[in-house]
Amino acid sequence: MKVLIVGSGGREHAIAWKAAQSPRVTKLYCAPGNAGIAGIAECVDIGVMEFEKLADFAKEQEIDLTIVGPDDPLAGGIVDVFEARGLRVFGPRKNAAILEASKAFSKDLMKKYGIPTAAYEVFDDAEKALEYLETASMPIVLKADGLALGKGVLICHTPEEAKAGVREIMTDKKFGAAGNQMVIEEFMTGREVSVLSFVDGDTIRIMTSSQDHKRAQDGDQGLNTGGMGTFSPSPFYTEEVDRFCREHIYQATVDAMKQEGRPFKGIIFFGLMLTEKGPRVLEYNARFGDPETQVVLPRMKNDLIDVVEACVDGTLDQVELEFEDNAAVCVVLASDGYPVHYEKGFPIRGLERFEGADGYYVFHAGTKFDAEGRVVTNGGRVLGVTATGGTLKEARRRAYEATEWVAFDNKYMRHDIGKAIDEA
Ligand code: AMP
Ligand code: GLY
């Protein structure tokens, strides 16, 4: 079968790599892809928001299945466009992608259905939000309602800081229309865990756990980024936590969406915080995590295409997911200055070291070919270097070893990815 993947980051490279393992896949396309994805798929120069062009391409090439990676096209309704054209596509429709696209929606959903999350209020008026802050206790968390590249969340320690945050989000529209509404919520403390799942509208199947490192610098300092590295599994995701989440969070979310007339098919990514009072949902994403996918898919034993098709067909109840009894660590190699200002276009050396290196992977996030055909940096996050190992420590040692195989100007990484596991 012919498969099209929509997106161009490390997540899509990992999805493409995993899809390519399926004996059922005869031809793989990726739109728009990157220099790494080009090694396993034919890259097509169509942007992720060009829904009609993508659907035209899928029709012309008789694509059997399209897998959508990023949040923006899902929130924009790419799945609805493909379905209207009679194309098979994996991902939530627009009315279900709202689970990620509106924090006000997801918080109200959790409240209505008793799914554990931080206490909150929704505001569509800056004055009311400022008034609320007069009596709120600190620290407090401000969230722009809409999609904001993971940057629309402000943790404020003083009322002055919080008021300035409200003005940034709602008055100055720092995150654009994402700030037309905002959520103000209780600050929680605890370990964060990411749990990805496949959903077919009714049934949910949980993947192995992972943990991201969102801040730019070691010791969780600096600005929030898309994610600087991940490890899987999380040793903090115990059987007890799993039991609680299965009982109160996972199926409850799928049932709530169905009840609301917004059946969810695709990936639900649960961002959890393990608080003293038990696990709480920090946020939902309606797609694979990036870079969580780079540590989860290399550990998955199932044929990805089989699982994705079961979601599309509503037969996920007949599928059991299986993961290797190992661990994986992904260290993101970024361009120095990310997530603010960084340069692009530097040649990347050493990528060939990964060819045939068992249990080592280099997923491309921001790369392209230059006019001379060299692979050059083309983004803030450039590569995701992943290694598996028998234990998390072993995987971490191997991942950091492999970060030395590649070189490019302004190469930057965190040196403490997975360090938390030492405390487990
Ligand atoms: P979100 O995009 O909602 O996941 O928020 C981004 C990051 O902000 C999370 O990964 C947490 O580190 C932090 N965060 C979000 N909500 C809260 C909260 N209620 N309490 C403490 N930290 C939070
Ligand atoms: N790594 C966090 C995300 O994909 O949103």
Residues in the chain: 424
CA terminus-to-terminus distance, the chain: 44
CATH architecture, domain 119-186: 2-Layer Sandwich (3.30)
Could you tell which of 282, 283, 290, 292 is best to mutate to test the pocket of ligand 1, judged by most ligand atoms within 8 Å of the CB? 282
Q: How far apart are CA 88 and CA 103, in angstroms?
A: 28
Q: State yes or no: pLDDT of 66 exceeds 90.
A: yes
Ligand 1 centre from 187 Cα, in Å?
A: 8
When pLDDT is cut at 50, 70 and 90, the band that residue 420 belongs to is confident
The residues that bridge with 155 in the sheet, in sequence order, are: 141
pLDDT tens-digit map of 274-330: 999 999 999 999 999 999 999 999 999 999 999 999 999 999 999 999 999 999 999
pLDDT at 217 over 80: yes
Percent of the chain with pLDDT over 90: 92
Is the pLDDT at 422 greater than 80, yes or no?
Answer: no
| For range 58-70, the mean pLDDT | 98
Closest CA to ligand 2's atom 1: 290
Least confidently predicted of 161-175, 194-208, 314-328: 161-175
- Percentage of the chain beyond pLDDT 70 is 100
Q: Whose CA is nearest to atom 3 of ligand 2?
A: 289
Pick the atom of ligand 1 nearest to 212's CA: 10
Q: Which residues line ligand 2 (CB under 6 A)?
A: 150, 212, 227, 285, 289-290, 292
Closest by CA to 312, choosing from 8, 92, 45, 37, is 92
- DSSP letters, 25-94, are -SEEEEEE--TTGGGTSEE----TT-HHHHHHHHHHTT-SEEEE-SHHHHHHTHHHHHHHTT--EES--H
Q: Which CATH superfamily is domain 327-423 in?
A: Phosphoribosylglycinamide synthetase, C-terminal domain (3.90.600.10)
Structure tokens at 147: 């999609």
Does the pLDDT at position 179 exceed 90?
A: no
CATH code linked to domain 2-91: 3.40.50.20
Q: 37-46, 133-142, 146-155, 359-368: lowest mean pLDDT where?
A: 146-155
- Pairing of β 42-43 and β 27-32: parallel
Q: What is the pLDDT of residue 367?
A: 98
Question: What distance in angstroms lies between residue 206's CA and the mean position of ligand 2's atoms?
Answer: 17
The ranges of the chain annotated as CATH 3.40.50.20 are 2-91
Residue closest by Cα to atom 16 of ligand 1: 282
Ligand 1 pocket: which of 273, 275, 277, 287 to mutate (most atoms within 8 A of CB):
273
CA of 80 to the centre of ligand 1 (A): 30
Work out the mean pLDDT of the chain and round it to a whole number: 96
**What's the confidence (pLDDT) of residue 23?**
98
* Of the candidate ranges 32-36, 169-173, 389-393, the one whose mean pLDDT is the lowest: 169-173
**Quick one: pLDDT band at residue 114, thresholds 50, 70, 90?**
very high
pLDDT at residue 176 in the model? 85
Provide the 8-state DSSP code for 145: S
pLDDT of residue 159: 92
pLDDT band at 255 (very low <50, low <70, confident <90, very high): very high
Ranges for all domains in the chain classified under CATH 3.30.470.20: 191-318
CATH 3.30.1490.20 in the chain is located at 119-186
Banded model confidence at residue 261, pLDDT cuts 50, 70, 90: very high
Q: Which residues pair with 143 in a beta bridge?
A: 153, 183
Backbone torsions φ then ψ of 5, nearest 5 degrees: -110, 135
Q: Can you give the pLDDT at residue 421?
A: 78
Residue 398: phi, psi to the nearest 5? -70, -40
Which residues of the chain are in CATH 3.90.600.10 domains?
327-423
For residue 282 and ligand 1, the question of a CB distance below 6 A is answered with yes
Asked if pLDDT for residue 177 goes beyond 90, the answer is: no
**pLDDT at 149 > cutoff 90:** no
Domain 191-318 has CATH 3.30.470.20: yes
